[in-house]
Chains A and B, each alone.
Chain A
Amino acid sequence: MKLNGGQALMRSLERQGVEIVFGLPGGAILPAYDPLIDSTIRHVLVRHEQGAGHMAQGYAQATGRPGVAIVTSGPGATNIVTPLCDAYMDSVPLVVITGQVPYAAIGTDAFQECDTTGITMSVTKHNFLVSNAQELPQVIHDAFHIATTGRPGPVLVDIPKCIVDPRNPRSGLEWYEPDGHDLPGYRPRTEPDAGAIAAAAELICAAARPVIYSGGGILKSRAADALMRFAELVQIPVVTTLMNRGGFPDDHPLCLGMPGMHGNYTAVTSMQRADLLITLGARFDDRVTGKVGAFAPDAKIIHMDIDPAELGKVRRPDVAIAADCRLGIEALIEAVDALGGAEAQADRRQWHDTIADWRQRYPLVYEPTEPGGALKPQFVLEQLRDATPTDTIVCAGVGQHQMWASQYWRFNHPYTWINSGGLGTMGYAVPAAIGAKAGRPDRMVWAVDGDGCFQMTAQELVTANTERIPIKVAILNNAYLGMVRQWQEMFYEERYSEVYLSPDLPDYKGWAEAMGCEAMRIENPDEVRPAIDKANEIDDRSVVIDFRIDTTEKVFPMVPAGASNDDIVLDPSQHPPRP
Chain B
Amino acid sequence: MAVKPHHTLVVLVENKAGVLARVAGLFARRGFNIESLAVAPTDDSRLSRITLVVDAESAPLEQIINQLDKLINVVSIRELASSESVERELLVVTVNASGETRGQIMDLVRIFDGRVLNVGPDRLMVSMSGGPNRVDDFESLLRPYGIVELQRTGKVALPRLAKAGGEVGEF
- Chain B residue numbers with a CB within 8 Å of A183 are 72
Chain B proximity of A439: nearest CB distance (Å) = 27
- A184 and B60 in contact, given A122-B25, A307-B70 (Cβ under 8 angstroms): no
Cβ-defined contact, A308 with B69, below 8 A: yes
Q: Which of A183-241 contact B (CB under 8 A)?
A: 183-186
Chain A proximity of B37: nearest CB distance (Å) = 17
The proximity string for B residues 65-106 relative to A, scoring 1 for CB distances below 8 Å and 0 otherwise, is 011011111111000000000000000000000000000000
A-B contact pairs, 17 of them (CB 8 A): A118-B18, A122-B25, A122-B29, A125-B72, A129-B18, A146-B72, A185-B13, A185-B71, A185-B72, A185-B73, A185-B74, A308-B69, A309-B63, A311-B66, A312-B62, A312-B63, A313-B63
- A118 and B21 in contact, given A309-B63, A309-B70 (Cβ under 8 angstroms): yes
Query: Is A117 located at the chain interface by the 8 A CB criterion?
Result: yes
Cβ-defined contact, B72 with A121, below 8 A: no
A129–B73 alpha-carbon span in the complex (Å): 14
A184–B48 alpha-carbon span in the complex (Å): 13
A90–B83 alpha-carbon span in the complex (Å): 42
Other A-B contacts than A184-B75, A185-B72, A312-B60, 15 sampled, CB-CB below 8 A, are A118-B21, A121-B18, A121-B22, A122-B29, A125-B72, A129-B18, A131-B17, A183-B72, A184-B14, A185-B14, A185-B71, A185-B75, A309-B70, A311-B66, A312-B62
- Chain B residue numbers with a CB within 8 Å of A117 are 18
Chain B proximity of A141: nearest CB distance (Å) = 14
A186–B72 alpha-carbon span in the complex (Å): 5
The proximity string for A residues 96-133 relative to B, scoring 1 for CB distances below 8 Å and 0 otherwise, is 00000000000000000000011001100110010100
Cβ-defined contact, A308 with B66, below 8 A: yes
Chain A proximity of B22: nearest CB distance (Å) = 6
- Chain A residue numbers with a CB within 8 Å of B13 are 185
Chain B proximity of A306: nearest CB distance (Å) = 11
- Chain A residue numbers with a CB within 8 Å of B29 are 122
Question: Which of A125, A126, A185, A309 has a CB less than 8 Å from the CB of B66?
Answer: A309
Chain B proximity of A192: nearest CB distance (Å) = 17
With both beta carbons as reference points, the residue of chain A lying nearest to B76 in the complex is identified as: A185
Cβ-defined contact, A309 with B67, below 8 A: yes
- Chain B residue numbers with a CB within 8 Å of A129 are 17-18
Most buried by A among B14, B26, B70: B70
- A121 and B25 in contact, given A309-B67, A312-B60 (Cβ under 8 angstroms): yes
Q: Which of B18-41 contact A (CB under 8 A)?
A: 18, 21-22, 25-26, 29
A186–B62 alpha-carbon span in the complex (Å): 18
- Chain B residue numbers with a CB within 8 Å of A312 are 60, 62-63
A131–B18 alpha-carbon span in the complex (Å): 13
The 10 A-B pairs at the shortest CB distance, nearest first, are namely A309-B66, A126-B72, A185-B75, A185-B74, A184-B75, A308-B66, A186-B72, A309-B67, A122-B29, A185-B73
Count of A residues near B, CB < 8 Å? Answer: 19
A125–B72 alpha-carbon span in the complex (Å): 8
- Chain B residue numbers with a CB within 8 Å of A186 are 72
- Chain B residue numbers with a CB within 8 Å of A308 are 66, 69
Cβ-defined contact, B21 with A121, below 8 A: yes
Q: Which of A301-341 contact B (CB under 8 A)?
A: 307-309, 311-313
A136–B13 alpha-carbon span in the complex (Å): 22
A129–B66 alpha-carbon span in the complex (Å): 25
Q: Which of A263-309 contact B (CB under 8 A)?
A: 307-309
Q: Which of A129-170 contact B (CB under 8 A)?
A: 129, 131, 146
The proximity string for A residues 326-361 relative to B, scoring 1 for CB distances below 8 Å and 0 otherwise, is 000000000000000000000000000000000000
- Chain A residue numbers with a CB within 8 Å of B74 are 185
Chain A proximity of B15: nearest CB distance (Å) = 11
- Chain A residue numbers with a CB within 8 Å of B75 are 184-185
- Chain A residue numbers with a CB within 8 Å of B22 are 121
Chain A proximity of B52: nearest CB distance (Å) = 16
A57–B74 alpha-carbon span in the complex (Å): 27
Cβ-defined contact, A309 with B14, below 8 A: no
Chain A proximity of B60: nearest CB distance (Å) = 7
With both beta carbons as reference points, the residue of chain A lying nearest to B29 in the complex is identified as: A122
- Chain A residue numbers with a CB within 8 Å of B25 are 121-122
With both beta carbons as reference points, the residue of chain B lying nearest to A124 in the complex is identified as: B72
A309–B25 alpha-carbon span in the complex (Å): 17
- Chain A residue numbers with a CB within 8 Å of B66 are 308-309, 311
A118–B76 alpha-carbon span in the complex (Å): 23
A118–B67 alpha-carbon span in the complex (Å): 18
Most buried by B among A117, A131, A185: A185
A131–B17 alpha-carbon span in the complex (Å): 10
Chain A proximity of B9: nearest CB distance (Å) = 15
Chain A proximity of B61: nearest CB distance (Å) = 11
With both beta carbons as reference points, the residue of chain A lying nearest to B18 in the complex is identified as: A117
- Chain B residue numbers with a CB within 8 Å of A118 are 18, 21
Chain B proximity of A148: nearest CB distance (Å) = 14
Most buried by A among B21, B71, B72, B74: B72
- Chain B residue numbers with a CB within 8 Å of A313 are 63
Chain B proximity of A60: nearest CB distance (Å) = 20
With both beta carbons as reference points, the residue of chain A lying nearest to B63 in the complex is identified as: A313
Chain B proximity of A132: nearest CB distance (Å) = 13
- Chain B residue numbers with a CB within 8 Å of A121 are 18, 21-22, 25
A117–B18 alpha-carbon span in the complex (Å): 9
A146–B29 alpha-carbon span in the complex (Å): 22
Most buried by A among B60, B66, B71, B73: B66
- Chain B residue numbers with a CB within 8 Å of A311 are 66
Most buried by B among A118, A125, A308: A308
Cβ-defined contact, A309 with B21, below 8 A: no
Chain A proximity of B56: nearest CB distance (Å) = 15
With both beta carbons as reference points, the residue of chain A lying nearest to B70 in the complex is identified as: A309
- Chain A residue numbers with a CB within 8 Å of B18 are 117-118, 121, 129
Chain B proximity of A280: nearest CB distance (Å) = 19
The proximity string for A residues 543-559 relative to B, scoring 1 for CB distances below 8 Å and 0 otherwise, is 00000000000000000
Chain B proximity of A150: nearest CB distance (Å) = 9
- Chain A residue numbers with a CB within 8 Å of B60 are 312
- Chain A residue numbers with a CB within 8 Å of B73 are 185
A185–B70 alpha-carbon span in the complex (Å): 8
With both beta carbons as reference points, the residue of chain B lying nearest to A125 in the complex is identified as: B72
A126–B73 alpha-carbon span in the complex (Å): 9
Most buried by A among B18, B25, B76: B18
